[in-house]
Each structure stands twice: as structure tokens, then as C-alpha cells.
Amino acid sequence: MINEIIIDSLKALNVPLSFQKYSGKAETYVTFHEYLETGEEYEEDEESLTAHYIQVDVWSKGDYTDLVRKVKNPLIAAGFKRINEVDLYEEDTKIYHKGLKFYYLEER
């Protein structure tokens, strides 16, 4: 379910979007994964709210500033809360990498 929400939110990016890893040849692409799913609230011993912690990674050989904005805005509009983000550079592949972490609360 959470993957569908992410894909639906980001399908208009005009760059490849892939779950966990990308194996194509594009120099700019986006990957995502859920790094934690946990019960957040319980009612009568049943989980009523589930928290999804996801990371969306923007990869590019060039300036990805505009693409990062195009990733954040639709996710926030879909109900995700931004936790943090970090700029990285992958020395072995010579690619810039922006990691964005989000939180999504799902009612059961």
C-alpha cells in the first residue's frame, strides 16, 4: 500500500522511479524504500495507526535541486511529513545523491 502511494505521488516526475534499486542507464533517477514500519497507536490491543518511515533518494550527475522540490511537494501533499534530508556524493560512481526521509501515518 505505501509503495502505491509513493508511486502515485511521484509518477509525474519524468525521470525513472524505482523501488529500492535502479538498473537502467539514465543519469538522473529516483529510488525509494521503507526503512521502518511500526505500530504507532493501539485500541483494545489492536493496532489502529501504523507509521511508515520511507527514504526517497534522488540520483543525478548534475544539479538535482529542481527535481528534489518536485519530489517533496507531491509527497507532502499526499500526507507525508518530511523528517530530514542530506546531500551526498558517491565517489565510486561520481553521482550526486540526495536522501530524503519521510514519515506517513496510516489508519487501520
CA distances from 14 to 5, 35, 91 (A): 17, 25, 26
Q: What is the pLDDT of residue 108?
A: 83
Tens digits of residue pLDDT in 78-100: 999 999 999 999 999 999 999 99
Q: What is the pLDDT of residue 60?
A: 97
Tens digits of residue pLDDT in 27-72: 999 999 999 999 999 999 899 999 999 999 999 999 999 999 999 9
d(CA 86, CA 21): 18
pTM: 0.92
d(CA 65, CA 50): 31
Q: Could you tell me the residue ranges of all domains in the chain?
A: 2-107
Question: Which CATH superfamily hosts domain 2-107?
Answer: Phage tail protein-like (3.30.2000.10)
Report percent pLDDT > 90 for the chain: 96
Tens digits of residue pLDDT in 13-31: 999 999 999 999 999 999 9
